[in-house]
Structure 1
Amino acid sequence: MSRRARAEQPRGPGGDDAAGRVLTLPNLISFVRLLGVPLFLWLFLVVEADVAAIVVLAIGGTSDWVDGWIARRLGQVSRLGELLDPLADRLYILATLLAFTAREVVPWPFTAALLARELLLLGSLAVLRRHGYGPPPVHYVGKTATFLLLAAFPVLLLAAATTSVTATTAAAIGWGLAWWGLVLYWVAGAMYVVQAARLVRAARRGVAA
């Protein structure tokens, strides 16, 4: 079996049939999460309905955990789901960051730090693809970082939309979550780069042999 075939081979409970499914409940949740991205941008940037935008962000962050739990619980882990879930996570994070930066909810250095990590990961994925490997499996550190960021965003928006004690408390909680999320996001990125480097070295040794 080629490296590409091994990298793209379906995984998860239920064997090949489960891994190849498209119409599953977890995938449906992921599709709905994707639709939530443009809805959030419209609410936050066009009509400036901050309360509704907070609700959309909160649902998007919560459903990130729900779809994975349902997939494992029902044995509906699929290759499509493994691709959709991190895609939805990244779109939520990037869309929220750009929207928050545009309305000055978060400073641009914070946004730049997260975008730099995404560029690093895209470069690693391009290198892996060139050597016949698919995307690496999502690490729990990366999932934890994503959870912290998705939890921080609605809290930061709440801080920006309110005043007095509520705003101060929400800002403290939100930025605590956000900075921990940023640190773990970079830790996960470094782990992916190390994993990619090992795979590339192994591929080159195989060619040389």
Structure 2
Amino acid sequence: MFSGIPSVPNAITLVRLLTLPWFLYMLFSQDQRAGAALLLGVLGMTDWVDGWIARRFNQVSAFGSVFDPAVDRVLFVVGAVSVMIDGAVPMWLCIAILTREIAVGLLMVTGAVCGMERFAVSINGKRYTFLLMTAVPLLLLAGSNHATADSARVVGWMLAIPGLFLSYTTAFGYIPLVRNGLQKGRAARRLR
């Protein structure tokens, strides 16, 4: 489980987690929406970087395959709650994002506790993550006085709506995968 902890991808994931307080500080203490939006966007994009490095340089680890998605969920929840409190993003969008993340998180934890065999994140799971991790910072930027605020609003919504739709279709698609993973986990335990 803990082999491969000291790897570049896991270090990037850890930095992403440790940088979240800086995002909160910029957003709430310094009233720097544009800077906070940029930082949140960079934090979202590093999710792709650490995954690419892990696969490209054969640094995929059991720890990283749990740690990275957990940090993704934390990033989603902290980001969504923060922009909802800030008022830059409508409450309904944040609640829809949070509801999906909590439901899938509970589904995965329940599956893991019940011995589910792990499965890879679907390509649509990666797509919705990209869309929403790009849309939310853009919508935050749209609430600033930055010169690109109007463009950020348009592009943010162009990404948010399909991202939200894809997030829910992906969530429902995980149900049969979890069911299958539970069956495989039970079968593997019987063979031991």
TM tier, smaller:
0.7 to 0.9
Q: What's 1:160 paired with?
A: 143
Q: What letter is aligned with 1:97?
A: A
- Give the TM-score normalised by the residue count of structure 1: 0.80
Pair 1:58–1:129, CA change in 2 (3 A)? closer
Distance of 2:59 and 2:68 partners within structure 1: 13
1:86 aligns with 2:86: no
Backbone CA RMSD of aligned residues: 2.5
1:129 aligns with 2:115: no
Deviation at 1:61, TM superposition (A): 1.9
* SS of residue matched to 1:161: coil
Q: What's 1:188 paired with?
A: 170
Q: Which whole-Å deviations, capped at 9, do the CAs of 1:48-98 have from their partners, x for residues lacking one? A: 222321231122122111111111111111112112221222112111111
1:100 aligns with 2:83: yes
Q: Which whole-Å deviations, capped at 9, do the CAs of 1:132-185 have from their partners, x for residues lacking one? A: 125542222111111111111221122111267x33221110011111111111
* Residues 100 and 106 in structure 1, CA contact (< 8 A), matched pair in contact too: yes
* Residues 155 and 174 in structure 1, CA contact (< 8 A), matched pair in contact too: yes
* Residues 105 and 156 in structure 1, CA contact (< 8 A), matched pair in contact too: yes
Q: What's 2:96 paired with?
A: 113
Q: What's 1:68 paired with?
A: 51
* SS of residue matched to 1:105: coil
Deviation at 1:191, TM superposition (A): 1.4
Q: What's 1:47 paired with?
A: 30
Distance of 1:29 and 1:119 partners within structure 2: 24
Pair 1:169–1:180, CA change in 2 (3 A)? same
Q: Where do 5+ consecutive residues of structure 2 fail to align?
A: none
1:178 aligns with 2:144: no
Q: What letter is aligned with 2:133?
A: L
Deviation at 1:206, TM superposition (A): 9.1
Q: Matched residues, percent identical?
A: 33
1:57 aligns with 2:40: yes
Distance of 2:159 and 2:42 partners within structure 1: 17
Deviation at 1:192, TM superposition (A): 1.3
Pair 1:168–1:192, CA change in 2 (3 A)? same
Q: Which has the larger radius of gyration?
A: 1
- Give the TM-score normalised by the residue count of structure 2: 0.87
Pair 1:28–1:156, CA change in 2 (3 A)? same
